[in-house]
């Protein structure tokens, strides 16, 4: 037994994921309500609060469209009630064609979660993995299987044992689901998705341990010697160890739900039978703010967990809004960060894009004469690319001095090292940390690509007629090489106007100096710094 444990423990330590330090914090976009703001309003809200990662529980086209050409990364969902339809490949092919392809890649769909906590639903349990295989098959047909990953979120209840974390093990009664699921995840290099709610462990632990407030260790795992200061890490490592005992290869984990209710009474459906605490007494705004604030700090500080100190944590907070139609006890309806009128339930600061990005814009306190002189210098001797500010170009409107100066200042700032000095402009420029881009006017930033590359793609905000005209020009007078988007060629699929225009626009852009002007196409294109290549279709 001891040798078996040592082998499992060695696997867990040696096969760490190749992730960067510093984690990602997203939010679940719960929509079980009849009083929520429009998707366009929500898109503005998440941008305002620097929320980059979102998860939705369906594939609402209005939501997908509202998040196009933003920096948001999105997990799209499939309801348990739809799993029976997903047993048929023809249906899933049609779903991918109609619900994913019209929006991707303008909307950054990264994952598809098929079902929710299916092990808690006998009707859904045996349908999930066959449905997931059909989704992957449909994605393969359009070359997106490596760009969009497929998984299913499970509850923490799939573990039969979680203390100490090194004894973490899956409940054997779920083997009919877990066996095929883990095989699928390993085959497709997909993440294991799990919902963790330390809130419901208060009966077994102190409130401080659950709220990330313990000043010292709350326990030491006797098998590993790892010291734990909070329950979240203990639960997550229990899942890590359970996975390691079942699979020789490490599987990444996404915590698809965690959170804290601000009010309510009654027990949650996930509460373990062993708990006898009155959990509603802990449901408060103060505790919710403390938990989520400390969670964000923990995820983003790059410390990982005791068993996985070098692994990036990926966590989604439940949920964006309070949901007045949610079934169950009152706590279920009060996990939201915002009220339906978009006012904050409590203040929570998100880390933004997590890249340390900054922009330079014009100060509204500067005089018109000082701004004009600075703008003239930036677009002249400063050699900023101001072509997008010309009439009929994407950043001409609003046609005012502050807006034009802001765009020019930022272009110069990005090209000259992002230093404070590069944003001086005689005291008329200021550095900001929220993206000032709007509509099709993109305030370029220093590329996140390790080689500093940028690409040009079509914007989904453009009309079909404008996109078609721009595509015809690029492949005709523009002399872009469009041979790869012909039938049976590598970039023909997905056979959509948006995808074909993106490939053609980028080809023209790369051949013509990769300048802002060569990615205009009359406002129908935008520059991006993430490689839009997929499958065998390479955006050179």
* Residues 414 and 370 occupy one common structural domain: yes
With 80 as the cut, is the pLDDT of residue 149 above it?
yes
CATH number of the structural domain spanning residue 321: 3.20.20.80
State the pLDDT at residue 265. 66
* Residues 300 and 208 occupy one common structural domain: yes
With 50 as the cut, is the pLDDT of residue 19 above it?
no
Question: What percent of the chain stands above pLDDT 90?
Answer: 49
- Are 130 and 181 spatial neighbours (Cβ–Cβ below 8 Å)? no
Token pair, residue 347, equals 């203040």
| CA neighbor of 206 nearest in space, from 167, 234, 241 | 234
The mean pLDDT of 322-332, rounded to a whole number, is: 87
Calculate Rg over the CA atoms of the chain.
25
With 70 as the cut, is the pLDDT of residue 279 above it?
no
State the pLDDT at residue 522. 81
Q: Which residue out of 73, 117, 311, 312 is catalytically annotated?
A: 117
- pLDDT digit string, tens, across residues 85-127: 999 999 999 999 999 999 998 899 999 999 999 998 888 999 9
State the pLDDT at residue 18. 33
The mean pLDDT of 39-67, rounded to a whole number, is: 91
Rounded-to-10 torsion of CA 48, 52, 55, 59? 80
Indicate whether 345 belongs to any domain. no
SS3 assignment, position 395: coil
Confidence of residue 11 (pLDDT cuts 50, 70, 90): very low
Indicate whether 119 belongs to any domain. yes
Indicate whether 107 belongs to any domain. yes
Active site residue 117: yes
With 70 as the cut, is the pLDDT of residue 411 above it?
yes
Indicate whether 10 belongs to any domain. no
* Domain limit, last residue, from 432, 467, 484: 432
With 80 as the cut, is the pLDDT of residue 23 above it?
no
State the pLDDT at residue 248. 57
* Residues 296 and 226 occupy one common structural domain: yes
- pLDDT digit string, tens, across residues 286-306: 899 899 989 998 988 778 899
- How far is it, in rounded angstroms, from Cα 506 to Cα 515? 11
The mean pLDDT of 143-151, rounded to a whole number, is: 91
State the pLDDT at residue 424. 83
Indicate whether 6 belongs to any domain. no
* Domain limit, last residue, from 287, 308, 338: 338
Q: Residue 295, exposed/middle/buried by CB under 10 A (0-12, 13-18, 19+)? A: buried
State the pLDDT at residue 87. 97
Lowest mean pLDDT among 13-27, 230-244, 427-441, 496-510: 13-27
Average per-residue pLDDT in the chain? 85
- How far is it, in rounded angstroms, from Cα 366 to Cα 330? 52
* Residues 190 and 51 occupy one common structural domain: yes
- How far is it, in rounded angstroms, from Cα 242 to Cα 5? 12
Indicate whether 534 belongs to any domain. no
Domain limits at 501?
455-528
- pLDDT digit string, tens, across residues 218-269: 999 999 999 999 999 999 999 999 999 987 567 889 999 999 999 876 444 3
- φ, ψ of residue 188 to 5 degrees: the values are -105, 5
State the pLDDT at residue 420. 65
With 80 as the cut, is the pLDDT of residue 530 above it?
no
State the pLDDT at residue 496. 86
* Residues 257 and 115 occupy one common structural domain: yes
Q: How, if at all, do strands 314-318 and 253-258 pair?
A: parallel
- How far is it, in rounded angstroms, from Cα 331 to Cα 267? 8
* Residues 128 and 215 occupy one common structural domain: yes
* Residues 420 and 468 occupy one common structural domain: no
Indicate whether 401 belongs to any domain. yes
The mean pLDDT of 433-450, rounded to a whole number, is: 69
With 60 as the cut, is the pLDDT of residue 1 above it?
no
- pLDDT digit string, tens, across residues 303-317: 889 998 867 799 999
- Are 296 and 25 spatial neighbours (Cβ–Cβ below 8 Å)? yes
SS3 assignment, position 506: helix
- pLDDT digit string, tens, across residues 334-358: 999 999 998 888 878 787 544 446 7
Indicate whether 280 belongs to any domain. yes
- How far is it, in rounded angstroms, from Cα 260 to Cα 337? 10
Rounded to two decimals, what is the model's pTM? 0.66
Question: What percent of the chain stands above pLDDT 70?
Answer: 87
* Residues 121 and 228 occupy one common structural domain: yes
- pLDDT digit string, tens, across residues 364-391: 767 899 999 999 999 999 999 899 899 9
Q: Which residue out of 73, 186, 187, 257 is catalytically annotated?
A: 257
- Are 333 and 264 spatial neighbours (Cβ–Cβ below 8 Å)? yes
Per-residue CA distances from 33 to 44, 229, 243, 336, 349 (Å): 19, 36, 35, 11, 25
State the pLDDT at residue 361. 87
* Residues 290 and 401 occupy one common structural domain: no
- How far is it, in rounded angstroms, from Cα 281 to Cα 472? 64
Q: In what order do the strands lie in the sheet with 24-28?
A: 149-151, 108-114, 73-78, 53-55, 24-28, 314-318, 253-258, 192-195, 153-155
* Residues 519 and 387 occupy one common structural domain: no
Number of domains, the chain: 3
State the pLDDT at residue 7. 37
- Are 213 and 275 spatial neighbours (Cβ–Cβ below 8 Å)? no
* Residues 327 and 372 occupy one common structural domain: no
* Residues 61 and 166 occupy one common structural domain: yes
Nearest-5° angle of CA 339, CA 350, CA 264? Answer: 35
115 against 47, higher pLDDT? 115
With 60 as the cut, is the pLDDT of residue 443 above it?
yes
Q: How, if at all, do strands 429-432 and 253-258 pair?
A: unpaired
Active site residue 323: no
| 3-state DSSP percent of the chain in helix, strand and coil, to 5 | 40, 15, 45
Confidence of residue 524 (pLDDT cuts 50, 70, 90): confident
């Amino acid at each position: 037994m001891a040798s078996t444990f040592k082998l499992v423990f060695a696997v867990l330590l040696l096969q760490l994921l190749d992730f960067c330090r510093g984690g990602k914090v997203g939010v679940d976009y719960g929509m079980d309500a009849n009083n929520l703001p429009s998707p366009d309003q929500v898109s503005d809200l998440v941008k305002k609060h620097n929320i980059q990662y979102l998860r939705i529980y369906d594939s609402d086209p209005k939501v997908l469209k509202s998040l196009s050409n933003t920096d948001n990364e999105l997990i799209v969902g499939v309801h348990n009630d739809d799993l029976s339809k997903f047993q048929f490949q023809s249906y899933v092919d049609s779903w991918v064609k109609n619900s994913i392809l019209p929006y991707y890649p303008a909307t950054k769909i990264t994952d598809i979660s098929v079902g929710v906590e299916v092990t808690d639903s006998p009707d859904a349990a045996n349908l999930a993995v066959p449905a997931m295989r059909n989704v992957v098959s449909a994605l393969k047909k359009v070359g997106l299987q490596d760009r969009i990953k497929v998984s299913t979120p499970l509850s923490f209840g799939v573990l039969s044992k979680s203390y100490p974390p090194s004894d973490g093990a899956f409940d054997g009664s779920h083997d009919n689901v877990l066996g095929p699921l883990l095989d699928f995840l390993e085959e497709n290099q997909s993440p294991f998705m799990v919902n963790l709610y330390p809130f419901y462990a208060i009966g077994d632990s102190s409130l401080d341990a659950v709220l990330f407030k313990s000043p010292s260790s709350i326990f030491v795992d006797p098998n590993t010697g790892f010291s734990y200061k909070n329950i979240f890490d203990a639960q997550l490592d229990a899942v890590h160890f359970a996975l390691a005992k079942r699979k020789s290869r490490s599987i990444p984990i996404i915590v698809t739900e965690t959170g804290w209710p601000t009010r309510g009474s009654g027990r949650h459906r996930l509460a373990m039978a062993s708990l006898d605490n009155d959990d509603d007494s802990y449901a408060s705004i103060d505790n919710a703010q403390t938990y989520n604030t400390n969670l964000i700090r923990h995820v983003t500080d790059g410390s990982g967990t005791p068993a996985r100190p070098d692994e990036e944590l990926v966590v989604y907070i439940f949920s964006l809004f309070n949901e007045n139609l949610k079934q169950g006890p009152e706590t279920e309806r009060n996990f939201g960060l915002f009220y339906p009128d978009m006012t904050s339930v409590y203040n929570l600061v998100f880390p933004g894009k997590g890249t340390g990005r900054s922009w330079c814009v014009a100060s509204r306190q500067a005089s018109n004469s000082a701004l004009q002189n600075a703008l003239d210098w930036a677009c002249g001797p400063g050699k900023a690319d101001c072509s997008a500010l010309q009439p009929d170009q994407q950043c001409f409107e609003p046609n005012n001095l502050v807006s034009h100066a802001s765009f020019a200042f930022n272009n110069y700032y990005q090209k000259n090292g992002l230093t404070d000095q590069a944003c001086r402009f005689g005291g008329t420029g200021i550095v900001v940390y929220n993206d000032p881009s709007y509509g099709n006017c993109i305030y370029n930033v220093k590329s996140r690509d390790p080689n500093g590359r940028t690409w040009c793609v079509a914007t989904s905000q453009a009309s079909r007629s404008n996109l078609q005209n721009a595509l015809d020009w690029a492949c005709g007078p523009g002399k872009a090489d469009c041979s790869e988007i012909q039938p049976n060629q590598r970039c023909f699929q997905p056979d959509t106007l948006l995808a074909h225009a993106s490939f053609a626009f980028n080809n023209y852009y790369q051949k013509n100096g990769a300048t802002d002007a060569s990615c205009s196409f009359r406002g129908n294109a935008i520059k991006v710094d993430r490689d839009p290549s997929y499958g065998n279709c390479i955006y050179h």
